[in-house]
Chain A
């Protein structure tokens, strides 16, 4: 399988300047809103610790909690199915739809169904699928995967959406008013809730104690998808389990604050049993998760609650766009999850990071994201998956960094360069770093110069 070239792919995104600038600003705005919300909750850090501990505990007892969930869900009338991988998941969903004679499926956003590439599978079997989340629908109509796990079309400007909707929904191509576009999608989608024979949701949390699962949306589209058709299918990754209802207090307080900077999503919905005369089928999906649990350095990534805070804060993600990662999960969390799915294909991704650690600092469940990124780089190097250019650059850097003499000479040369080079050499089209940013003023001298001056050499 071909290696994803993140740097090459992001160059296409970067080429459209107004897109990059908006993307960067919009995601940083989400990060700042998250900061304001977090600061307003005095017990924020305690909540993060609790969330992390609850998740670690649950993962370490996952077989017990999954069995408890299954027992309780079955007792209250839900049906529980198990899927080892994407193919089994898609097969189960297709069989359920066929058994109910369902031709139209309304679904709310689920990264898991994207991970399983379910839409393509079902569409070739004659099922019409309507994504009901606005962002996900835009992406579906444009034939693109989501670029962000919370805001799927965040890389698009309103004019892009107007073009997509004009082509697919017949709206006025010249009208890119956001309310007009959202209203057009509303009018287009609502009849489907009434027509569809089946509805589908993912889940943010599954609660072992009650056998129930929780879905968070702002549009209420999960509630419409689940509460109108007689068949509700919920695809749930096995790592979504938490032990008790009371634990939801911790996670719901963290989730939307971390994701969008709002105290809660507009709709936080809890499904414990089907309505009389209808059915709920839960598909519990492994797809590599049980294997990841055994990876000593990487199993903590299973704690993820998919808030996207790490993406919003990541300078590389903000300036390269989610699609450049070529994977279902992008940004820092994607960088540590994707190589576990396919090391060769995603071997460039752990290098799409500055290792600044901001991702770990905002993570509501305290995943050591940047440390895992560093560890993946080592794994990739050991397994000989580094591209030759990167290897050569690293070899040179290794030489320079391991020799004090060479290092000092390099620092001097770089500082002199910043000071004396003409602006045209730094801020020219060939130097990506000079584009849309001022380089910082070089310090007056190096730390070593200062140290030698003040403490004397040899001490």
Chain B
């Protein structure tokens, strides 16, 4: 008997009584103030927020990251200085200083942004650069995670991440350090 069939048979012999599967509500609350909630939670999680018209974003990036040598952008509004199409292997992103991407939507309850391979083009763009700038249209905010998980993207994307602030750790004495392994900073640009 294969391990698979063996495990399934053993489980089958040991099943408890089956209670029904409950429906999960959306837990809707008044949909006002989504932006304020999003910004508050993002900042709590160590992310930053600015609001800018899209055409001013490239200039703002140069000001915010004056030392950045390599800027790689998957967002059509921002050019960057290394063409994304030239990337053959995600490991080529090792020296990227600033990554730029546009999120599909954001979650007010947690301050998260939703990114998949469609937005990132190269998944490592969300993690290997030193800093990440995420563009987000403020009309694309959902109130909470129940709404977020109704998005069809979870059924279609090969890979999807709800990203909430930069890479962080509190593994030593509970002291918060930002920039543990991945991005040192996350800035969401409302535009």
A residues bordering B, Cβ < 8 Å? 22, 26, 29-30, 43, 50, 53-54, 56-63, 66-67, 70, 76, 82-84, 88, 132-135, 138, 151-154, 156-158, 161, 178-179, 181-183, 186, 189-190, 193-194, 210, 212, 218-221, 223-224, 227-228, 238, 243, 245-250, 252-253, 260, 262-275, 284, 286, 290-291, 293-294, 296, 299
Contacts and interface: CB of A to CB of B under 8 A. Distances in A.
Q: Which 8 pairs from chain A and chain B are nearest by CB?
A: A294-B14, A220-B182, A135-B171, A60-B18, A249-B146, A290-B10, A273-B158, A219-B180
Given A220-B180, A221-B180, A270-B154, A290 B160 contact: no
Given A267-B163, A268-B161, A273-B158, A293 B14 contact: yes
Nearest to A180: B177
Contacts of A61: 15, 18
Given A152-B171, A291-B14, A84 B7 contact: yes
A57 B44 CA distance: 35
Interface string B119-150: 00001101110000000000000001110111
26 contacts: A60-B17, A62-B11, A133-B171, A134-B171, A154-B171, A154-B174, A181-B172, A182-B177, A186-B181, A193-B91, A210-B154, A218-B168, A223-B123, A224-B128, A243-B21, A253-B109, A253-B146, A262-B45, A263-B111, A267-B164, A272-B154, A272-B158, A272-B159, A272-B160, A293-B11, A294-B14
Interface residues of B, number: 71
B86 to A, nearest CB: 16
B177 A270 contact: no
B181 A264 contact: no
A309 to B, nearest CB: 16
B6 interface: yes
A193 B94 CA distance: 9
B124 A270 contact: no
Interface of B is mostly: loop
A393 B182 CA distance: 54
Nearest to B14: A294
A270 B7 CA distance: 26
A267 B161 contact: yes
Given A60-B15, A132-B181, A290 B7 contact: yes
Contacts of B127: 220, 223-224, 227
Interface string B7-28: 1101111111111111010010
Given A135-B171, A221-B181, A43 B20 contact: no
A76 B7 CA distance: 23
Contacts, number: 254
A238 B45 CA distance: 32
A437 to B, nearest CB: 23
Contacts of A219: 167-169, 180-182
Given A182-B169, A270-B159, A270-B160, A246 B150 contact: yes
Contact of A190 (B109, B146, B161, B181): B181
Interface string B48-82: 00000000000000000000000000000000000
A213 to B, nearest CB: 11
A210 B155 contact: yes
B16 A245 contact: no
Nearest to B7: A286
